[in-house]
Amino acid sequence: MYINDYIKVKVLPNMKRIIIILFLLVLLILTCCNLTLPINSYFINIAKNLFHFPLFIMITTGVYYLLPKNKFRLIFCAGISVLIAGSTEFIQIFNQRDADWHDVFLNMIGISCVLLFLSYKTNRSKLTSMQWKLIWELVIIFIFWGMSPLLYQAYAHIRTDISFPQIDNFESPIGMYQFIPNRNSSIKRVAEHASQGKYSLQIILHPGPYPGVHIMYFPSDWSKLQTFSFDLFNSQTDTVKMHLRFDDNDAESYNDWGHAEIIIFPGLNNIEIPVTQIISSPPSDPLNSHKIRKVVLFMIRPDKSMQFYLDNIHLN
């Protein structure tokens, strides 16, 4: 069948269905990219991340049955589903959220499971039962592999819950799952410049708008604590200015964030910030001291790459 005949016979009669699919896809992508949950519970955050897997099972299944029946149906389904999976993360680069390739990986696992099942339904006679069994065993291995970082993250949060008001001193690699670098930033656990124990967190900030690191998923009630403290080793020979941002569960914009400006001298710096100063710093309304959910350590548009070592993060 020539391409013109295919368009007349297959595409045009289903144009209404195709337009509906495209509209729903755009709506879904925009919703996923702007949906935020202002919560500090690691159980809810992990459940939210794990939901990528069943969500894309449902999305891929829906796309497949909405597409017109033809020999390219499975290919179109795969292409559209992968486009959604990538787009929902890529668009987040341009808003206040950060793209997460682990989420894309979970999306792809969900898509692959559906495509394999549909392929099995339509081509079950072309492969032996042993070959199909091997394929599904590999799928199961990938599922557990994809979810393993979230399980580590859950364990890290439980450790912090137990050790709080000590947030982390990086003696265990598990704690790394609470620390998320911004764009133009990288982090690594290293045996250098530790102020307590053997290890610290190396932070490299590259030129860009707001390079830094997020500290997430610690116990949120700071109402009975006095100071937020940490040690920071400055590898540069220059004194630099850094910033701290504090969010509670209701923080949505700049005016809702707590702020602190700190001066970092060359070598080791011990930073202590009164919790009362943090709570009262937002220009619009004080933070809720019972629901602190995120701390961000960052710089504003550095003109060169800089290297720091963070350690002994705790509250008193």
- What is the torsion angle, in degrees rounded to the nearest 10, for the CA atoms of residue 49, residue 50, residue 51 and residue 56? 100
b (16+ CB within 10 A) / e for 103-127: bbbbbbbbbbbbbeebbeeeeeeee
Cβ-count burial of 62 within 10 angstroms (0-12 exposed, 13-18 middle, 19+ buried)? middle
pTM for the model = 0.62
Quick one: CA dihedral 31, 33, 37, 38, positive or negative? Answer: negative
> Is the previous residue joined to 149 through a cis bond, with omega within 30 degrees of 0?
no
- Give the pLDDT confidence of 51-65 residue by residue, as tens digits: 677 777 788 887 887
Q: Are strands 200-205 and 240-248 parallel, antiparallel or unpaired?
A: unpaired
For the chain, the domains span 3-160, 167-315
State how far the Cα of 285 lies from the Cα of 142, in Å rounded to an integer.
46
Q: Which of 294, 203, 211 is nearest to 245 (CA)?
A: 294
For residue 96, the model assigns a pLDDT of 47
Residues of the chain short of pLDDT 70, as ranges, are: 1-51, 88-102, 123-127, 131, 142-143, 145-154, 157
b (16+ CB within 10 A) / e for 274-299: ebeebbebbeeeebbbebbbbbbbbb
Q: Which of 146, 160, 157, 141 is nearest to 51 (CA)?
A: 146
For domain 167-315, the CATH superfamily is Galactose-binding lectin (2.60.120.430)
- Give the pLDDT confidence of 221-257 residue by residue, as tens digits: 898 899 999 999 999 999 999 999 998 887 777 778 8
For residue 33, the model assigns a pLDDT of 47
303: how many CB neighbours lie within 10 A of its CB?
Answer: 6
Q: Which of 62, 53, 63, 29 is nearest to 109 (CA)?
A: 53
